[in-house]
Structure 1
Amino acid sequence: MNELFTARLGFAYDPTPIPSDYLTPETPGANKLNYTVGASLRLASNISLDASLQYIQALEREDGYAPADFYATYNTNAVIPGVGLNITF
C-alpha cells in the first residue's frame, strides 16, 4: 500500500487426494477452501514485522471405509495465525 505498510489477501482451493476407499477417521480428507490475510509493517530500512492469518474450511464429506464400518460425516476447520520479525543484512 505504501513503503511502510503492505497488505496481502489470498485464496486457494485444495482438492482431497484421498479416495473414498481409503477414508478413515485418521485420514479424513476433504476438499478445502483456504483463506489468507497478512500484513507487513516496515520498522526500519532492514526490519519488518509480518503478521498472517489463515482459515481452512474443509467441505463436509459423508463417506466411509467399509471393512471397519467408519461411515460418518467429516467436517474440519482450522485457524492458523503467524507473526514474524524479518531482519535483512
Structure 2
Amino acid sequence: MSSVFADTTYDANIVLPAELTVGVSYNLSTNTILALDVNRTFWSDYKNLDVRFDGAAPPSLNPRNYEDANIYRIGAQHNVGGGLTVRLGAYFDQSPIKDGYFAPETPRNDAIGFTAGGSYQVSKRLAVDVSFLYLRFDEFKGSYDFVGHDEDPSTSDSSFAGEYKSSVLAGGFGLNYKY
C-alpha cells in the first residue's frame, strides 16, 4: 500500500454545516439569570468526504449522508456577591448519524453535557474565570459501511465497526484584564 501513496498529494473538502441558534434569558431575580437555547445544526449539507489523490492512487469516496440535529441547552448564572459569580448548565446534543455511517472525524452519538464555572472579580480591572465540563456520549455500537467505494456495503473492504464508549472531562482557566 505504501507504493500507491508514495510521494503523492491529495485534495479533500469538508463542508462545515450552518447553524441556527435561538435563545432566551430571564432574570429570576436581580442576582440570577436563567437561559435556554436551541441550536439546529444543518449536518445534511455534509454529504461526502471524498479524498482524491494525484498519481496512481484511487480516490477514497466516503458518503456521510448525515441528518440535521438539535442541541438543547439550559443554564443559570447567579451573582453571589463579593465579586463572585457562579454558573451551572446542562445540554443534550442529538446525533446526526444514520445507521451504517459512523465515522470518527466529525460528530458521534447522542451526548449529555454538564457545565459549572465561576468568575471572581479580583479588582476593578482583573477577573479570574474557571470552568468545568463533563460530557457523556451514549454507548454506541455502530460502523461505517461505505469505505472507499460506493454506497453498496457489500463492496466495502474495511469499517470502523465497534462499540464506542466515550466521555470528556475538561477544565478551563482564564484571566480577564480590562484596559
Note whether the superposition's TM-score is higher than 0.5. yes
Question: Structure 2 residue aligned with 1:10, among 83, 89, 94?
Answer: 89
The amino acid across from 1:86 in the alignment is N
Structure 2 residue 143 is matched with structure 1 residue 64: yes
Separation in 2, partners of 1:35, 1:49: 21
Question: Unaligned stretches of 5+ in structure 1?
Answer: none
| Offset, 1:48 | 0.5
Structure 2 residue 98 is matched with structure 1 residue 19: yes
Within 5 Å, give how 1:1-89 maps onto structure 2.
1-27=80-106, 29-66=108-145, 67=156, 68-89=158-179
Following TM superposition, where does structure 1 have runs of at least 4 consecutive aligned residues deviating by more than 3 angstroms?
24-28
Question: Unaligned stretches of 5+ in structure 2?
Answer: 1-79, 146-155
User: Which is higher, the Rg of structure 1 or of structure 2?
Assistant: 2
The size of the alignment, in residue pairs, is 89
Structure 1 residues 16, 74: closer, same or farther in 2, change over 3 A?
same
Give the alignment's TM-score, normalised by structure 1: 0.86
SS in 1 for 2:171: strand
RMSD (Å) for aligned C-alpha atoms: 1.7
| Offset, 1:53 | 0.6
Deviations 1:32-54 (Å, cap 9, x if unpaired)?
11110001111001210000011
Looking at secondary structure, tell me which structure has more strand per residue.
1
| Offset, 1:69 | 4.4
SS in 2 for 1:22: coil
The amino acid across from 2:85 in the alignment is T
SS in 2 for 1:18: coil
Question: Is the contact made by 2:131 and 2:171 (CA closer than 8 Å) also made in structure 1?
Answer: yes
Q: What percentage of aligned pairs have identical amino acids?
A: 29
Deviations 1:46-83 (Å, cap 9, x if unpaired)?
21000001111001111223333443211111111100
Separation in 2, partners of 1:86, 1:28: 32
Separation in 2, partners of 1:47, 1:70: 48
